Structure 1
């Protein structure tokens, strides 16, 4: 075999085929120690919350709450399923988006920093498909991270507290099975709430060749927007900030479900995904890749 043929064979072995690009990218991402560490931290948060509530209350049932996160905490001792809602409410503003920011910020810039981006672009998929694969992988992490929190909270809740019929925030009591379905729906809403921020991280990742810089910029932007969303004087712009409706998932736990805030949240996330996804595509397809 000639040297040219040998080089061609080696390149073929290194380059993932187009149909398997997404599978290869997801597998690579979820095998990294950094990703596993992030998922480990997310899994630990519900356990810590459950243990703290157990120690604080001594396992005694609390009274009913009014709404939102306070209602979730007060109901945990009555029903361990509420630890799922409490944990998602605690992780969504900080822990989950921070983890997503790390994955999204590193998805393109990390490849450039490692010198592997230009080799990926040799594959027949091209820049557009590669970018879509990177974004799909980040969205997959949003879903997996959310499910890890929910599953860890469910296990801890069942072990630490009684379970049974679920009293919704509107006062309606539903069977435990329906409560589980609502918990799954809540997890789905939380995962969808992160897709807009994931697109922002993807765009930032196309602006630099430094994975660390992209991750820091993405996380810094998250903190800045969270601060803006907490300032009362800025109420006029807050409905347009991506985290403004994040906690609207609580409306899934009402009977009937309140759709207004949920629709605004999902619509806003779709808008951010479209705008920043398009910006990332425009930047990446015109970028001179040298590493």
Structure 2
């Protein structure tokens, strides 16, 4: 009798892949229906709108975008010649802080928010299983990285096409490429930017396993982001700067060279994979061994 009950318990704890997909679907719907998530996406969408309007106003009298010294986000001087450059400018403007901040909020709240709301214990009884739940939370955070990046890119493309001419464009190397090729590179750049955030997502998820307060986890993740960004600007730390997860973020600009310059792009992706492996493993080790009381 006891063996039958044990076998039944094992059966209950081994849901089908369809059940896992259902859990992921519910998590995605829950995340993207939150007012906080919608507000974060709204702020991201507003950035390319504001940049586009600012460039349009500044160049109305024939001035140059970014000022005489070329100040401003990368590619901003080319926006008036081709609206597609607003996509690259908006991503360059949001990647240092706005995009990673939103990812830090979502990742930090992933598990700590459930504990704070008192629902984490019920999710594990469901039977989600700790490893499965952790993977679903990370997959949801990665989905947010992609959606957030595409929101910036698509909004910038629409605003750029509305306010400025579009067509063939000149690469950083000085060669001309077609508008279709430019669109393809813009999509690839958006995917690279989204992939650049996977290390931060894993770090935020790990922080989320350390506390039962969603606010504390979000604040800690964003605080670490700001700290790393500051340290990455200190020349005296040149020996360790290449190991900061944000160091190669702006290497996506190399996709606008002809031919594409790959070394820094590959270093960025390798670094993000390393951070994801290290902090993902740390999150798993912490979450699968901690006592869940809320």
For normalisation by structure 2, the TM-score amounts to 0.90
Q: Which among 120, 124, 146 is matched to residue 123 of structure 2? A: 120
Name 1:48's counterpart in structure 2: 50
Q: Tell me, yes or no, if structure 1 residue 258 matches structure 2 residue 265.
A: no
4+ residue runs over 6 A deviation? 63-69
Q: Match for residue 279 of structure 2?
A: 276
Q: Note the C-alpha offset of 1:166.
A: 1.1
Please, which of 160, 168, 172 is the counterpart of residue 171 of structure 2?
168
Partner in structure 2 of residue 206 of structure 1: 209
Give 1:17 deviation, angstroms: 3.9
Contact 1:17–1:124 under 8 Å retained in 2: no
Unpaired runs of 5+ residues, structure 2, are 1-17
Change in Cα spacing, 1:210 to 1:55, as seen in structure 2 (3 Å) is same
Structure 2 residue aligned with 1:287, among 282, 285, 290? 290
Counterpart CA distance in 1 for 2:70 and 2:130 is 46
Query: Partners in 2 of 1:34 and 1:146 — Cα distance?
Result: 17
- Number of residue-to-residue matches in the alignment: 276
Q: Call closer, same or farther: CA 1:69–1:166 in 2, change over 3 Å.
A: farther
d(CA) in 2 for partners of 1:100, 1:188: 15
Q: In structure 1, how many angstroms separate the alpha carbons of the residues matched to 2:191 and 2:19?
A: 31
Residue 99 of structure 1 corresponds to 102
1:110 is the counterpart of 2:100: no
* Alignment map for 1:97-246 (pairs within 5 Å): 97-246=100-249
Gap change, CA 1:81 and 1:32, over 3 Å in 2: same
Determine if contact 1:18/1:124 at 8 Å carries over to the other structure: no
Q: Which runs of 5+ in 1 are unaligned?
A: 1-15
Instruction: Specify whether residues 49 and 87 from structure 1 end up closer, same or farther in structure 2 by C-alpha distance, changes over 3 A only.
Output: same
Which whole-Å CA distance do the structure 2 matches of 1:137 and 1:239 have between them?
28
Three-state SS of the structure 1 residue aligned to 2:83 is coil
TM-score normalised to structure 1 length: 0.91
